[in-house]
Amino acid sequence: MVEGEYSADSIALNWEKFILLGDRVQWFRAEAEMERWREEWEIKQADFLRCIRSFAKMSSVWQVIASNTVEAGKCAYAKHKSAVFKEMEKHARTLFNDAGYGHLIDHLLDNNEGKILADYVLLERSDPRYIIPQLITEVWMSAASVEHF
């Protein structure tokens, strides 16, 4: 064989390596996209919990203002604002619970268990329901079988 010429076998082998390498790149890009999506999903959960906590705090602040005010008009206004924030809190709790995250409200907001959202995120990420063994095996097998060009 003359230098610079390739046999059909060597072209086929290089083509297989090229396709496998392309598949690996695509897989890792898809994995990164999935990780970004999961992070955004976790941020939304944190924002929702922060919103509920904020509504509850504002309701209690306005309630304190109402109890410390002697003028009837100002007291009525403060009680009204307190009721508005309490209703917003109730509505947000209902929406979050209906979305399937009521357990987060119970564990992170109501019980003062000393847990933070990061504890929940780590626990959920390690849940076997969210691990796809075929993908883990596929990646390691692919990584071991690809030679660098």
For residue range 77-110, what is the model confidence (pLDDT) as tens digits? Answer: 999 999 999 999 999 999 999 988 888 887 787 7
The three state secondary structure string of the chain is CCCCCCCHHHHHHHHHHHHHHHHHHHHHHHHHHHHHHHHHHHHHHHHHHHHHHHHHHHHHHHHHHHHHCCCHHHHHHHHHHHHHHHHHHHHHHHHHHHHHHHHHHHHHHHCCCCCCHHHHHHHHHCCHHHCCHHHHHHHHHHHHHCCCC
pLDDT digits (tens, 9 = 90+) for 37-78: 888 988 998 899 999 999 999 999 999 999 999 999 999 999
Q: Give the range among 52-61, 106-115, 118-127, 129-138 with minimum mean pLDDT.
A: 129-138
The answer to pTM > 0.85 is: no
Instruction: Identify the weakest region by mean pLDDT among 8-12, 29-33, 40-44, 90-94.
Output: 8-12
